[in-house]
Amino acid sequence: MSILIDKLFSYATKFVAIAVLLLVAWIFTILFQNSIDSIEAFGFDFLTETKWAPNLEKFGALPAIYGSVVSTFLAMVLAVPLAIGVAIFLSELAPAKLKSPVGVSIELLAAIPSVIYGMWGLFYFVPIVRDIFGGIGISMLTAGIVLSIMILPFMAAVTRDAMNTTPDILKESAYALGGTKWDVIKDIIIPYAKAGIIGSFILALGRAIGETMAVTFVMGNVHKISFDLTEPATSIPVTLANEFTEADTSLYYSSLFELSLFLLVISFTIISIAKFYFLRRQRAA
């Protein structure tokens, strides 16, 4: 009897573990199957076509891809230096009394759902962008800024963790040779924690590119490639969030599924690079 339970339990656990793999394979398959219409209709032009006109049954993903790339790039450009600054502050500069409360509040803020960041962006940041840069305030720029603020706590916390892996004794050795704090940070801590820091940035990039709610509020969902950052724009997740419930033809649906598939493949690749190339090397070191 107990041997039977033993066997059943071990099979049950193994079954669920394998089911997780099958589930992921299933997700890819379903997204692909549903994309077939669009893939057959547009081929590779789907990714390079600039026109997204549901009424004409014409779907080109380039404006959404462009928006995803530019808003994520903006977010990274703004968040990376701030995250490094916050991480240096938390790991090397802050007095012991501040380290823990500030560190914990940063981690807690990383747990706040992105929909809240989006809502804050809409009500408090859109007017500021409108006043300073002109336009209607709903724009690529606003999306980039809100996205950067949303990924900042995550990035800062992970960068700090990576920097904290540097052994004290290594830092002390550099101080013992007459190094300043900055000397120790740039010559010892950053080289030592390099893989972890880069890994966490790429992971943040992977998350930012798939982020929906923080940007949906403030981007405008306009399928147009504009080099003016104060113009409304769209991104892949923003398009999905706005149009999935509106799609009324099978080609429209299929195009949205192809966008989903494309987004999943891109995120999967970026996150894999972060996790397996950089963060695993860090673990091995």
Partner 1 sequence: MTHTQKRIITNNIVMILSALSAIIGIGFLFWILGVLVLNGIDALSWTIFTQEGAPPGYEESGLKHALIGQLFIVGIATVVGVPLGILAGTYLSEYGQMSKLAQTVRDISDIMMSAPSIVIGAFVYAIVVAPMGHFSGWAGSIALTIIMLPIILRTTDDMLQLVPSTLREAAFALGASKYKVITQIVYRGAKAGILTGVLLGVARVAGETAPLLFTSFNDNFLNTDMSEPMASLTVTMYNYATSPYEDWQKLGWAAAFILSMFILSLNIIGRLFLLKKKGK
Partner 2 sequence: MATIVTITEEKALEVKDFEFTYASADAPSIKKLTMPVAKNSITALIGPSGCGKTTLLRSFNRMHDLYSGNQYSGEIIFKGRNILTAKEDLISLRIQIGMIFQKPTAFPMSIFDNVAYGMRLQGIKNKTELQGRVEKALQDAALWNEVKDRLKHDANGLSGGQQQRLCIARAVAVEPEVLLFDEPTSALDPISTAGIEELIVELKNRVSIIIVTHNMQQAARVSDYTGFMYLGELIELGLTEEMFVTPKEKLTEEYITGKFG
Binding residues for partner 2, rule: CB under 8 A, are 95-96, 167, 169-180, 183, 187-188, 191-192, 194
Of residues 238-277, which lie at the interface with partner 1 (CB under 8 A)? 240-241, 244-245, 256-257, 260, 263-264, 267-268, 271-272, 275-276
Instruction: Compute and round to an integer the Cα radius of gyration of the chain.
Output: 23
- Which residue's structure tokens are 């972890």? 196
Q: Which is nearer to partner 2, 172 or 228 (CB)?
A: 172
Residue 84 found at the interface with partner 1 (CB under 8 A): yes
Q: Which of these ranges, 42-50, 52-60, 88-96, 128-136, lies near partner 1 under the rule CB under 8 A?
A: 88-96
Residue 232 found at the interface with partner 1 (CB under 8 A): no
Classify the phi-psi angles of 43: left when phi > 0, otherwise alpha if psi is within -120 to 50, otherwise beta: left
Residue 237 found at the interface with partner 1 (CB under 8 A): yes
Q: How far is the CB of 155 from partner 1 (least distance, A)?
A: 10
Q: Which is nearer to partner 1, 43 or 85 (CB)?
A: 85
Closest CA relative to residue 229, chosen from 216, 220, 242, 238 = 220
What CA–CA distance (Å, rounded) separates 182 from 186?
Answer: 6
Q: How far is the CB of 49 from partner 1 (least distance, A)?
A: 21
- Which residue's structure tokens are 């603020």? 149
Q: Which is nearer to partner 2, 154 or 192 (CB)?
A: 192
What CA–CA distance (Å, rounded) separates 251 from 216?
Answer: 23
Structure tokens at 123: 């009500």
Q: Which is nearer to partner 1, 70 or 263 (CB)?
A: 263
What CA–CA distance (Å, rounded) separates 32 from 257?
Answer: 8
Closest CA relative to residue 139, chosen from 77, 74, 82, 78 = 74
CB environment 237-267: b (16+ within 10 A), e (fewer):
bbbbbebeeeeeeebbbbbbbbbbbbbbebb
Q: Which of these ranges, 45-53, 55-63, 102-110, 126-134, lies near partner 1 under the rule CB under 8 A?
A: 102-110
Q: Report the residue from 50, 173, 180, 249 that binds partner 1 according to the rule CB under 8 A.
A: 180
> How many other C-beta atoms lie within 10 A of the C-beta of residue 194?
15
Q: Report the residue from 36, 77, 108, 132 that binds partner 1 according to the rule CB under 8 A.
A: 108
Q: Report the residue from 39, 47, 62, 122 that binds partner 1 according to the rule CB under 8 A.
A: 122
Q: Which residues fall within 8 angstroms of residue 77, CB to CB, at 6 or more apart?
A: 148
Of residues 2-61, which lie at the interface with partner 1 (CB under 8 A)? 2-3, 5-6, 9-10, 12-14, 16-21, 23-24, 26-27, 30-31, 33-34
Q: Which is nearer to partner 1, 161 or 211 (CB)?
A: 211
